[in-house]
């Protein structure tokens, strides 16, 4: 059985090997796939798969489902925790540049993907963080 590190590593490698496609392999689905990899009962990828194909479409899909923003959506599926409490594989919503981006905690840094490639951010960019894999907040 794989440990958390192995699951996180293999999930990130698989996601970053894919081309960036809205609604399939963007930053939101990076977070969904990580959450699903650590807790298969969530089925977030299945729930949101191809529900949008553009950034504007993603915003519309979010609101159509009754959510105001990404932290609101993830709070409906995962347990919130403080950004400094986030552990390897936990999900974060970053606030920078043109809006919100979903990222994965690597320990001291958070990684997300953009159309231009991978992007690493520090804790000061984290607007919200969520536990994955059923781990309780400390």
From first to last of its 138 residues, the chain has per-residue pLDDT tens of: 789 999 999 999 999 999 999 999 999 999 999 999 999 999 999 999 999 999 899 999 999 999 999 999 999 999 999 999 999 999 999 998 878 999 999 999 999 999 999 999 999 999 999 999 965 444
pLDDT of the residue at 138? 44
Residue 112: name the closest of 103, 122, 124 by CA.
103
CATH topology of domain 4-130: endopeptidase fold (from Nostoc punctiforme) (3.90.1720)
Phi, psi of 109 (to 5 degrees): -130, 165
Listed residue (7, 39, 8) closest to 106, CA to CA? 8
Q: Where are the chain's structural domains?
A: 4-130
Contact indicator for 91, 78 with CB cutoff of 8 Å? yes
Is pTM beyond 0.85 here? Answer: yes
User: What are the counts of helices (DSSP H) followed by strands (DSSP E) for the chain?
Assistant: 5, 6
> Which residues pair with residue 3 across a beta bridge?
none
β partners of residue 121:
110
């Amino acid at each position: 059985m794989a440990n958390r590190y192995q699951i996180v590593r293999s999930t990130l490698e698989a996601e970053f090997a894919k081309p960036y496609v809205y609604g399939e392999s963007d930053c939101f689905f990076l977070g969904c796939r990580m959450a699903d990899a650590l807790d298969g009962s969530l089925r977030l990828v299945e729930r949101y798969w191809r529900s949008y194909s553009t950034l504007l479409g993603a915003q519309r899909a979010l609101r159509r489902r009754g959510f105001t923003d990404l932290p609101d959506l993830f709070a409906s599926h995962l347990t919130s925790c403080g950004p400094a409490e986030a552990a390897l594989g936990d999900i974060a919503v970053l606030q920078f540049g043109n809006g919100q981006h979903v990222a994965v905690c690597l320990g001291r840094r958070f990684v997300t993907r953009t159309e231009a490639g991978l992007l690493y951010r520090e804790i000061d960019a984290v607007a919200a963080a969520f536990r994955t894999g059923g781990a309780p907040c400390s």
